[in-house]
Each structure stands twice: as C-alpha cells, then as structure tokens.
Amino acid sequence: MELGMVLMRNIWLILYYGVAWKLPMQPMPGYKLFYAIRRFLVRKLLSECGTGVVVKDRCYFGNGKNLHVGSYSQLGQNCRLQGQVVLGNHVMMGPDVVIMGITHDVSRIDIPMNTPDLPTIEKPVKVGNDVWLGTRVILMPGVEIGDHSIVGAGAVVTKSFPAYSIIAGVPAKIIGTRRSELNT
C-alpha cells in the first residue's frame, strides 16, 4: 500500500477510535449527525460498507480491513468484531454482540497459551441477510447464520444454522423457525 494511503488510513482510524466511536447515539440531541460522522469514517475503513449502515457508539472492529457490511445493517452499541466477518443486508444487532472470526491454535502443547507466539487460525464468520442478533450474542469462528434468522439474546453460537432459524441458548440450538408453513 502506498505511504499516502497508509497515512490516510491511520488518520481515519485515529478519528474513529479517538473521537467518533464515543459520540452519543439516539435519543441524545444531534444523534443523526453523530451517526453520519461514524458512517463516513467506517466507509473509509471497512473492506465493504453498503448504503444506510448505522454504526452505534463504541463499536470495535480493529482496522476494518476484514469486515464487509451490507446495506441497511447495524453495527450495535459496544459490539466487537474480529477477523474475517461478512454481514449481509438488513442485519440488526443488539448491544454487546461479539463476532470472532479468529481463534488461537491450541493444538501445540509446546507453546504456553498465553504467549504472543501462539499461532492464530482465521475462520470467517458469515451472517446472512435480514438477521437479528440479540443483545450479547457471541458468534464463534467459522459460524454461518442463514438469511432471515433470529439469534436470541445471550446465545453462544458454535455451529452454523440454516435460513429462517430461531436460535437461542448456550450452546445455541434451533428453538423454532420463521417459516410459517413449518410452524403449523
């Protein structure tokens, strides 16, 4: 990457994490301006950022290079996104959601787990279109959530689920479906 581009990216990161990520959100006066500022900066940082994306306060996504966010999706308040993460269109995210697309390789017992030398493994996480991630949901590495699904608050998702799933629990499991023909 050209030096000028690296410098600009670092400036955008400083502006986002130094100022914009702390700006208040709704219902505080001026929240629409604060959303616009965060959206402007996020568009400069993410690999892909659709139109109408809402970024709530204190959303952490590292340098943003591995994050793809579809149109009209939300990055929830105080969320934490790490590794390769793809969010579809119209994804709704409650506060404190954690999406981990990276994990430590713990297969080597000759290296202590708390050492910086412990290798990492990237396992992309994909969230489909029209998905609702409730408050404090945790998506573990390699998980895929199908379109039109709901993940209940506090769920720890360790495996993938198909479209139209209603998912909850620790570990998460299907507790229902959004397809009406299957609910009768």
Please say whether the beta carbons of 157 and 138 come within 8 A: yes
Question: Is 104 in the active site?
Answer: yes
| Catalytic, out of 68, 90, 104, 148 | 104
Give dist(CA 13, CA 16) in Å, integer: 5
In the block, which residue shows the tokens 């934490």? 80
Catalytic residues: 104
